[in-house]
Amino acid sequence: MRMPWNARRLYWGLCVVATLAASATGCTHVTEACTLTLKAVVVPMDTTIAVGQSFRPVVTLLGCQGAVLQDVISFHPLDTTVVAFDSSTQRVSGIAPGQTGVIVSGTRYGSVAQILVTVTP
């Protein structure tokens, strides 16, 4: 049994509208998952300071297509006999000669990087 002409016209019209709607929302940046991994840009990444000197690390987190991501960043020295982190000033200070890492972590993204710090006398 054939559909009446008006029903066929309505059917094909709806097909065209559905196809156009699917094409409009089918952009690759919407339908495909991001395959980029989180990137942490830490400045400085490795540094040498003298006992008594300090520096303030700056962290930028990047996601898909270079989008800047927001997180609350904290710093955790691996050896607190070599460096200390002051959360009120956001500075890492050398307190004794040696070498240690400072873990960079965020409340949302977890551990994202490590800064290598060498402290000289």
Q: What is the CATH number of the domain that holds 83?
A: 2.60.40.10
State which amino acid sits at residue 74: S
The reply to whether 51 and 104 lie within a common domain is: yes
CB 93 within 8 A of CB 54: yes
What DSSP letter does each residue of 56-102 carry, written as one string? Answer: --EEEEE-GGGPEEP--EEEEES-TTTEEEETTTTEEEE-SSEEEEE
Rounded average pLDDT over 87-107: 96
**Which one is predicted more confidently, 99 or 25?**
99
Residue 107 pLDDT more than 80?
A: yes
Q: How far apart are CA 45 and CA 48, in angstroms?
A: 10
Q: How far apart are CA 50 and CA 53, in angstroms?
A: 5
Residue 47 has a pLDDT of 95
The reply to whether 43 and 89 lie within a common domain is: yes
The range of the structural domain enclosing residue 28 comes to 1-32
The reply to whether 17 and 43 lie within a common domain is: no
- What are the tens digits of pLDDT across the range 62-83? 988 888 999 999 999 999 999 9
Overall domain count for the chain = 2
